[in-house]
Amino acid sequence: MTTDANAPWLVVGLGNPGPGYAANRHNVGFMVADLLAERIGGSFKRAQKAQAHVIEGRIGAPGPANRRLVLAKPTSYMNLSGGPVVGLRDFYKVPTANIVAIHDELDIDYGVLRLKLGGGDNGHNGLKSMTKAMGPEYHRVRFGIGRPPGRMQVADFVLKDFSSVERKELAYFVDRAADAVEALVTEGLERAQSAYNS
């Protein structure tokens, strides 16, 4: 799928707003977005046309691989992510193929990444909302959180903070996920997959 090389990219970290959710497994998309914001050197500001906080900047080395980037964190709850994403897409005139959702993924082991274009939502409420709003043909950076232990309900698991053992490696995995997003935007899906789909 080819897109206009000058069109901006919209990278959306998925999560729930507010300090009570900040360290939850479900908010790993926000964690990666925060790290990308540091790398760009900006701070999030409230978007004018959507329920989201955004940073505008550029990503990639100077030259043909340098890309315009809108980095966003919806301020709606996870299950309403589609509305803010569509608002940002329309305001910034971003092709759907230039949208990247960063999200937690239950069916992948903790810390493992999978990058892909399109597909189902696998029960993820943020993806479900985005797909309902604009169809499935956007990129996903899937951050593995593993399955709940024992009989713990999925909803309880994703809304709990990472365990003390997981937190020892969390910064490394978040850093790697941010690298994967940069590679996807600047080098394309296939090269990013070969480097980061572990």
Residue owning tokens 């090389």: 5
What would the DSSP string read from start to end of 59-79? ESSSSTT-EEEEEEEESS-GG
Each residue's pLDDT, cut to its tens digit, for the chain (198 residues) gives 445 668 899 999 999 999 999 999 999 999 999 999 999 988 899 988 789 999 999 988 887 778 999 999 999 999 999 999 999 999 999 999 999 999 999 999 999 999 999 999 989 999 999 999 999 999 999 999 999 999 999 999 999 999 999 999 999 999 999 999 999 999 999 999 999 997
- Return the bridge partners of 117, or none: 139
Residue 26 annotated to the active site: yes
Could you tell me which residues come within 8 angstroms of residue 19 by beta carbon, excluding any fewer than 6 positions away? none
Q: How far apart are CA 89 and CA 151, in angstroms?
A: 39
| Contact assessment for residue 80 and residue 133, using Cβ atoms and an 8 Å cutoff | no
Q: Residues 26, 53, 124, 139: which is the catalytic one?
A: 26
Burial class (CB in 10 A: 0-12, 13-18, 19+), 184: buried
In terms of Cα–Cα distance, which of 96, 48, 34, 40 is closest to 69? 40
